[in-house]
A and B are shown apart, each in its own frame.
Chain A
Amino acid sequence: QVQLQESGPGLVKPSETLSLTCTVSGASIFSSTAHWAWIRQHPGKGLEWIGSIYHDGSSHYSPSLTSRLNISVDTSKNQFSMRLTSVTAADTAVYYCARQKGSPWSPNWFDPWGLGTRVTVSS
């Protein structure tokens, strides 16, 4: 079955860059019916979509993060990654990667999700 696994540091200092990678198994990142997404969940809070990318590199970002965000795809490793610059305590959250089903022009719901990785921004 399709599985996603997030990896990256659990602790990042304020003003530095948060980098996370998602490794996909059981499915090809080249799928024509999938986008690949990052979503975060602040402690005890709801879900916030960060951004999504298609295998050709076309992407959509949350307007609130676009100035600090870059999402990329590495088709050779079947991975995709996110970089969030100039982090603050407000970026402390559990970060999930997920497959987002849909056509190239219409990304839809998220299934499945990775288990999530907790990231704390603190000095």
Chain B
Amino acid sequence: DIVVTQSPVSLAVPLGERATINCKSSQSLLYSSNNKDYLAWYQQKPGQPPKVLIYWASTRESGVPDRFSGSGSGTDFSLTISSLQAEDVAVYFCQQYYSTPITFGQGTRLEIK
């Protein structure tokens, strides 16, 4: 199984500042035949299901604010919120879909400092 490890477990950032969450996989998520990284990022607010923000490691889902961006390749990835807003308080998960079993990171809780 591919193990996906997120860091930090929790993060507190002042409003308007940058927040970065990291995700590391136990093996490369880059598929050489199409040069795509099989990684997605989700946001989960309290009492709600997760919502996809980013897929293919860096493609923003339609309707997601452009302050959210994904980067990285291979085994190391990041989700960055360029200017934290109050509505961004949530738990963020990464997910690999390179191979089954599909696995998720353990989540990062993002709060306002």
Residue positions of A touching B, CB distance < 8 A: 46-49, 52, 60, 62-64, 96, 98, 102, 106-116
Q: Which of B1, B48, B55, B100 contacts A109 (CB 8 A)?
A: B55
Residue positions of B touching A, CB distance < 8 A: 1, 38, 40, 42, 48-52, 55, 61, 93, 95, 97, 100-107
- On whether A107 and B97 interact (CB within 8 A), knowing A46-B106, A49-B102, A49-B103, the answer reads yes
Contact assessment for A108 and B107 in the assembled complex, using a CB-CB cutoff below 8 Å: no
Contacts of B104 in A (CB 8 A): 46-49
Residue of B with least CB distance to A47: B104
Contacts of B103 in A (CB 8 A): 49
How far apart sit A63 and B1, CA to CA, in the bound complex (Å)? 9
Contact assessment for A108 and B49 in the assembled complex, using a CB-CB cutoff below 8 Å: no
Contact assessment for B101 and A109 in the assembled complex, using a CB-CB cutoff below 8 Å: no
Contacts of A116 in B (CB 8 A): 49
Main secondary structure of the interface of B (DSSP, over half): loop
Question: B16 → chain A, closest Cβ, in Å?
Answer: 29
How far apart sit A98 and B38, CA to CA, in the bound complex (Å)? 18
Question: B10 → chain A, closest Cβ, in Å?
Answer: 13
Q: How many contacting A-B pairs (Cβ < 8 A)?
A: 57
How far apart sit A16 and B65, CA to CA, in the bound complex (Å)? 45
Contacts of A113 in B (CB 8 A): 49-51
Contact assessment for B101 and A49 in the assembled complex, using a CB-CB cutoff below 8 Å: yes
Residue of A with least CB distance to B97: A108
Contacts of B42 in A (CB 8 A): 110
Contact assessment for A114 and B93 in the assembled complex, using a CB-CB cutoff below 8 Å: no
Contact assessment for A108 and B50 in the assembled complex, using a CB-CB cutoff below 8 Å: no
Contact assessment for B49 and A115 in the assembled complex, using a CB-CB cutoff below 8 Å: yes
Contact assessment for B105 and A46 in the assembled complex, using a CB-CB cutoff below 8 Å: yes
Contact assessment for B55 and A108 in the assembled complex, using a CB-CB cutoff below 8 Å: yes
How far apart sit A27 and B102, CA to CA, in the bound complex (Å)? 23
Q: Which of A47, A96, A102, A112 contacts B93 (CB 8 A)?
A: A47
